[in-house]
């Protein structure tokens, strides 16, 4: 947008400068032509007096000598004709039938003064033709024709034109740099601030605000309205978080008491079917408790004000994989890793730990015993940013395309996994925490089958000893 506005200002200023420069150039060119015209008229009048005497006396020697000297001095052609348009003398051959010469002679023989020519532009190479009447006692005896080159006059016009063009360009650059660019920055600064703020709000940072003291009045009002909207959204979100946290916390105590009472009923139930139902009730209470715990963690995570910083991805992934090896070994599930040294990323504290715990737990629960692989690698995400990707890939049944589009939503669970212990909040909580840290959680089908879950985070400066950062 800044470039477009600068371009518009550039075009407007250029148009204004051109509109002011053209009259100046034309006036300068006309002044040059007028100066040359006056000089040629004076020369023509002098030749006309000399020619009048020569035509009356019939002696043209002096006239011819003067014409030759003039022609050699000014690189011009001088011709004198009588009243019948017959050539009397000519310093050099002159085509009297040439339209410009013929028109000038007709005016002179009609006893009319010469007309000033138009502007001589640098690209106009026509000669300057002037005819002066030769008079004696009110009678027209003939005419003097002077044909002069215009190189010198056109060169002066070209010099003036060059100076005006260079001056106009300098003025244009000066106006754009000294005036237009600062004004455009001043106008667009609130727009840039609003663009940045709306992007941050879209990422979940509802505490972002913009200055209301910069820019035009309309933009300041827009900034004020944005801040009011952000305040309202933040207050509403805080109320929702507080409600979820308080409700989850308040429900834990009666739920715990209910579970204990149900367990205490076991000694009073003698029927095996009743005991089975009693155990189911206890399991449902435990599941309900897990759901309340997950809701409480979700509310706390959403309310977190932690700032992201460098995270040693290599160390975190290695630590969490080692912590889960016993569980995978106990279940007979192969767990392999591809973890290079010295990889770091930018994230919230404990974000990657929590994400790996959730993804490894899901791979173990829903992978149906298929091998699981954990890999870490850097991936270029464009010229301006590099990312780090941590991928947990299993070779299990995976998810269908429809399920992949729904996975990660709150309380969503596949119909095939309804009997597997869980709350349906694990991926939702992981996605929210990862995105709050500036990353993203990607779910995709693995080849030839299975599920690939990738946590993509912005890369941090390489740690010492990183083979990917060592110069080749």
Does any domain span residue 196?
A: no
Lowest mean per-residue pLDDT among 29-33, 168-172, 305-309, 358-362: 305-309
Give the CATH number for residue 90. Answer: 3.30.450.20
Position 126 pLDDT exceeds 90: no
Assess contact for 365 and 416: CB atoms under 8 A: no
Does any domain span residue 206?
A: no
Give the CATH number for residue 336. Answer: 3.30.565.10
Q: Are residues 283 and 312 in the same domain?
A: no
Q: Are residues 361 and 454 in the same domain?
A: yes
The range of the structural domain enclosing residue 276 comes to 217-301
pLDDT digits (tens, 9 = 90+) for 150-196: 788 888 888 888 888 888 888 888 888 888 888 878 877 888 888 88
Does any domain span residue 240?
A: yes
Q: Are residues 387 and 343 in the same domain?
A: yes
Last residue of a domain, one of 256, 279, 301: 301
Does any domain span residue 162?
A: no
Last residue of a domain, one of 138, 156, 174: 156
Does any domain span residue 78?
A: yes
Does any domain span residue 125?
A: yes
Q: Identify the band that residue 416 occupies on the pLDDT scale cut at 50, 70 and 90.
A: low
CA-based end-to-end distance of the chain: 41
Residue 129: beta bridge partners?
147
Give the pLDDT of residue 233.
80
DSSP string, 157-183: HHHHHHHHHHHHHHHHHHHIIIIIHHH
Q: Identify the band that residue 329 occupies on the pLDDT scale cut at 50, 70 and 90.
A: very high
Q: Are residues 271 and 335 in the same domain?
A: no
Higher pLDDT among residues 3 and 371, named by residue: 371
Q: Are residues 334 and 398 in the same domain?
A: yes
**What pTM was computed for the model?**
0.44
At 78 the three-state DSSP class reads strand
Q: Are residues 126 and 221 in the same domain?
A: no
Give the pLDDT of residue 418.
53
Assess contact for 234 and 207: CB atoms under 8 A: yes
Give the pLDDT of residue 315.
93
What would the mean pLDDT of 37-43 be, rounded to a whole number?
Answer: 86
Q: Are residues 57 and 73 in the same domain?
A: yes
pLDDT digits (tens, 9 = 90+) for 373-399: 999 998 765 545 688 999 999 988 878
Q: Are residues 251 and 331 in the same domain?
A: no
Give the CATH number for residue 250. Answer: 1.10.287.130
Give the pLDDT of residue 245.
64
Q: Which two tokens stand for residue 424?
A: 């349906």
Q: Which residues contact 130 (CB under 8 A, 6 or more apart)?
A: 37, 40, 41, 44, 104, 114, 145, 146, 148
Does any domain span residue 147?
A: yes
CA–CA dist 190, 214 (Å, integer): 6
Does any domain span residue 44?
A: yes
Q: Are residues 339 and 453 in the same domain?
A: yes
Give the pLDDT of residue 31.
84
Q: Which residue has the tokens 């006056």?
A: 38
CA–CA dist 31, 155 (Å, integer): 14
Average pLDDT value for the chain: 80
Q: Are residues 297 and 315 in the same domain?
A: no
Q: CB 114: neighbour CB atoms within 10 A?
A: 19
Q: Are residues 325 and 339 in the same domain?
A: yes
Q: Which two tokens stand for residue 394?
A: 């299993």
Position 293 pLDDT exceeds 80: no
What would the mean pLDDT of 283-287 be, rounded to a whole number?
Answer: 71
Q: Which residue has the tokens 């995570």?
A: 301
* pLDDT over 70 percentage in the chain: 83
Q: Which two tokens stand for residue 427?
A: 């991926």
Q: CB 233: neighbour CB atoms within 10 A?
A: 12
Lowest mean per-residue pLDDT among 87-96, 149-158, 459-468: 459-468
Give the highest mean pLDDT range of 11-15, 314-318, 462-466: 314-318
CA–CA dist 248, 285 (Å, integer): 14
Residue 146: beta bridge partners?
78, 130
Last residue of a domain, one of 248, 273, 301: 301
CA–CA dist 405, 399 (Å, integer): 10
**Based on the number of CB atoms within 10 Å of its own CB, is 415 exposed (0-12), middle (13-18) or buried (19 or more)?**
exposed
Q: Are residues 279 and 311 in the same domain?
A: no
What would the mean pLDDT of 466-470 be, rounded to a whole number?
Answer: 42
Q: Which residues contact 212 (CB under 8 A, 6 or more apart)?
A: 220, 223, 224, 227
Segments of 299-338 assigned E as strands: 309-312, 335-338
How many domains does the chain fold into?
A: 3
Position 343 pLDDT exceeds 60: yes
């Amino acid at each position: 947008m800044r470039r477009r506005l600068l371009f518009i200002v550039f075009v407007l200023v250029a148009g204004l400068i051109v509109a002011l420069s053209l009259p100046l150039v034309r006036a300068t060119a006309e002044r040059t032509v007028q100066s040359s015209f006056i000089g040629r008229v004076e020369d023509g009048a002098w030749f006309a007096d000399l020619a009048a005497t020569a035509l009356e006396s019939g002696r043209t020697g002096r006239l011819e000598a003067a014409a030759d000297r003039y022609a050699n001095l000014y690189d011009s052609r001088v011709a004198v004709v009588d009243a019948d348009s017959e050539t009397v003398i000519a310093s050099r051959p002159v085509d009297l039938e040439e339209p410009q010469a013929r028109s000038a002679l007709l005016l002179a023989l009609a006893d009319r003064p010469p007309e000033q020519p138009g502007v001589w532009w640098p690209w106009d190479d026509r000669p300057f033709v002037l005819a002066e009447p030769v008079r004696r006692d009110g009678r027209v005896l003939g005419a003097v024709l002077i044909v002069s080159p215009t190189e010198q006059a056109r060169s002066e016009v070209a010099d003036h034109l060059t100076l005006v063009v260079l001056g106009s360009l300098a003025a244009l650059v000066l106006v754009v740099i000294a005036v237009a660019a600062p004004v455009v920055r001043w106008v667009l600064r609130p727009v840039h601030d609003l663009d940045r703020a709306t992007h941050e709000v879209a990422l979940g940072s509802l505490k972002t605000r913009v200055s209301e003291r910069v820019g035009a009045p309309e933009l300041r009002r827009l900034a004020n309205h944005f801040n009011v909207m952000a305040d309202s959204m933040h207050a509403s979100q805080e109320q929702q978080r507080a409600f979820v946290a308080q409700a989850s916390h308040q429900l834990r105590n009666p739920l715990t008491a209910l579970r204990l009472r149900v367990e205490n009923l076991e000694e009073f139930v003698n029927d095996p079917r009743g005991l089975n139902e009693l155990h189911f009730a206890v399991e449902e209470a435990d599941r309900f408790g897990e759901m309340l715990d997950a809701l409480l963690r979700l509310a706390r995570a959403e309310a977190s004000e932690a700032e992201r910083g460098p995270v040693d991805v290599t160390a975190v992934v290695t630590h969490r994989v080692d912590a889960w090896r016993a569980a995978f070994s106990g279940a007979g599930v192969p767990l392999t890793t591809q973890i290079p040294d010295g990889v770091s990323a930018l994230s919230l504290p404990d974000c990657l730990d929590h994400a790996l715990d959730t993804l490894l737990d899901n791979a173990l629960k829903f992978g149906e015993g298929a091998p699981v692989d954990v890999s870490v690698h850097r991936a270029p995400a464009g010229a301006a940013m590099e990312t780090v990707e941590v991928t947990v890939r299993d070779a299990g049944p995976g998810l269908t395309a429809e399920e992949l589009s729904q996975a990660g939503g709150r309380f969503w669970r596949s119909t095939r996994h309804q009997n597997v212990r869980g709350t349906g909040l694990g991926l939702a909580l992981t996605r929210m925490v990862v995105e709050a840290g500036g990353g993203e959680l990607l779910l995709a089908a693995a080849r030839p089958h299975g599920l690939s879950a990738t946590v993509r985070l912005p890369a941090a400066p390489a740690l010492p000893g990183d083979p990917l950062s060592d110069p080749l």
